[in-house]
Chains A and B, each alone.
Chain A
Amino acid sequence: MPDTFEDAPWVKKDSLVVAHRLRTYYTIRPGLFAKPRFVKAVDDISLSIDRGITLAVVGESGSGKTTLGRALIRLLEPISGEIYFDGVDITHMKEDELKKVGFRRRIGMVFQDPYSSLNPFHSIHFILEEPLMVQGVPREEREERVYRALEEVKLTPPEDFINKYPHMLSGGQRQRVSIARAIITNPDFIVADEPVSMLDASIRVEILTILKDIQQKHKMAFMYITHDISTAKYFSDYILIMYAGQFAEYGPFRDVVKNPLHPYAQSLIEAIPDPDPSNRLRERKVAPGEPPNLANPPPGCRFHPRCPFAMDICKRQEPPVIEARPGVYVKCWLYKGF
């Protein structure tokens, strides 16, 4: 790892997870003999997450937030850039190497849909035990850890759940099983991809509380991927807002949400209603249109076709990332004068 990342000063190099100028593209072939084209799902993202810190990655569908999460835990291999985990470069490691350096054991993931992320033919006991079996944990210890994980996600008493199958549980309970599965190996880094977006409001808070407790107790690095900033607020320390695969704004969570600088971030935050009966009397000032196709993104700043402040330069040249306020970084030409 280099001593400093001069082109990405917000990255703290001694963090547990460090990504530098990461790019992950998907290949599409428009026709049998046509030249392959790339969907630039993640395009030049740098970030760092330390132990005990939660980073919220926020963006709309197609912003690349899920791809970023998957690349960081190496379910995907990036096209360029580097990923360091605990100081080790894991960017292009093969699967067996990742296992050998203990990377797979030290990460966990919670998926969005609790109905499709649990195998319906496996009992809760097996779902939780399997990762431990792979690691070669002895039987008695496995048993104890399965019980402990169920208690941690408040599926108590564990005996009531352990022999059930996923279809016998409600959505909220299933999501708690997925959380238990993610934490059972005592990982240092967890990626939670929209863990509450499929759940009802009253259950959502319960799951968020469990995630927050676990994160605080185990001091793990936590990446919370969501489209809903208001659920991220309850336990995020930093926020990265992505637009069309690219960096839009990064900074301390409350600072950014209170006073967003990037026009996209402003629109995104304006668009979220708080329960307030006077909302019906006002119009929301949000950007028109929808995100671009990532196979053929607009030149310059990818947000310029929707941006109310678009200038000439925005159409021609990609904006640099600028520290617009101490600790707050924005990829936007508007702040170049500072």
Chain B
Amino acid sequence: MSMALLEVRNTRLYYATTKGVVKALDGVSFELNEGETLAVVGETGSGKSTLAKLLVRVWERNVTLVDGEVHLEGREVLHMPEEEFRREIRWRKIAVVPQSSMNALNPVIKIGDQMIEPLLLQGTSKEEALKMAMDALEAVGLPRDTVNRYPHQLSGGMKQRVIIAMSIMAHPRIVILDEPTSALDVITQANIMNLLKKLKWEFKLSYIFITHDLALASELADAVAIMYAGKIVEIGGAEDIYQNPSHPYTQGLVSSVPTLRTDKTLSFIPGEVPSLITPPPGCRFHPRCPFYRDRDYLKGLCDAKEPPNAEIEGKSLRRHLVYCWLYK
């Protein structure tokens, strides 16, 4: 049996707020294979960014619970000492492009100095780190002397390229992309997507691509995980998810995406995303689910018991799993 590059098992992450405990991530498990891109798609508040924070172990101070296991190349990394994680794993094995981080570049520090900071902290010499930074800048299509520039001298697309260069600089195995094009224009977005495709082949990267946009996800995804209210509701190969969406939420999401080239009738999912402080019992989607509403035999199941996972026959190598009572 071949081992997955990254194995996430039953992870949970809760935040304490004045209103109660927010169960942002509640029992998420998946695998990521070597060279694979997994798109994690969900709406605001589905827990997709929290997943990114969990994997690189940078989270806010009000986190009250971190639980589960994360195995990277067979090694448990979620509970290893922070010092060890910082020296060996973060940036070196698993890197992140945080959401809207291009606006977080320090305006008074040169690009180069900002880029090499994590490497210096890990003990790399300054010359070596600068060379790594320049190589990375070249790989993302920027001139090597960008290291001597300041953020305000760069356009939005260039700043995003700098951030991507920072993530690949130490040659990680996995790069987590958290909405990497959210503030960019469509053409710039397409250019960045082209770049990410190129880097993937060049550096044999595995991506975890976090986005709310199902159409954009298809630009990179080999596999797709759909998140709803802190849980994965469906996961499988991209062909299976796009052509045979099986969870009622995924079906609703797919039919709400406007398409430019083909005509289809759009529909929407009525209702709102539930509160993660007091999520609905059983399946968290049941209050909005059209099948639950229409089929009497589901009453007492969906609204009471956690949905089981069911495997669906699919085209791709990856197992197509759906967490729903309909398939039991």
Contact = CB atoms under 8 A, between A and B. Distances in A.
A233 B258 CA distance: 8
Interface stretch (A132-140, A160-168, A205-213): A205-213
Nearest to A205: B268
B197 interface: yes
A283 interface: yes
Nearest to B194: A283
B219 A200 contact: no
Contacts of B37: 280
B266 A208 contact: yes
B252 interface: yes
Interface in B105-159: 155-157
A288 B191 contact: yes
B262 interface: yes
B187 A287 contact: yes
A1 interface: no
The 3 tightest CB contacts between A and B, nearest first, are: A271-B190, A277-B238, A60-B185
A267 B252 CA distance: 30
Interface string B233-245: 0000011011100
A275 interface: yes
Contacts of A288: 191
Given A230-B258, A274-B262, A202 B269 contact: yes
Interface residues of A, number: 42
A286 B43 contact: no
| Among A201, A206, A271: residue with most chain B CB under 10 A | A201
A274 B215 contact: yes
Given A201-B212, A202-B252, A268-B187, A280 B242 contact: no
A234 interface: yes
A257 interface: yes
A229 B187 CA distance: 12
Contacts of A234: 258, 266
Contacts of B272: 170, 172
22 contacts: A60-B187, A200-B44, A200-B273, A201-B212, A202-B253, A203-B268, A204-B268, A205-B267, A230-B260, A257-B260, A269-B260, A272-B186, A273-B193, A274-B259, A274-B262, A275-B218, A275-B242, A275-B259, A276-B218, A276-B242, A283-B197, A286-B187
Interface in A165-217: 170-172, 200-206, 208-209
Given A270-B190, A274-B262, A280-B220, 16 more contacts: A60-B185, A172-B272, A201-B256, A202-B43, A204-B258, A205-B267, A257-B260, A272-B215, A273-B193, A274-B218, A275-B254, A277-B242, A279-B218, A280-B238, A286-B187, A286-B191
Contact of A227 (B186, B194, B217): B186
Contacts of A290: 155-157, 185, 187-188
Contacts of B186: 60, 227-228, 268, 271-272
Contacts of A172: 272
A180 B257 CA distance: 25
Interface in B43-74: 43-44
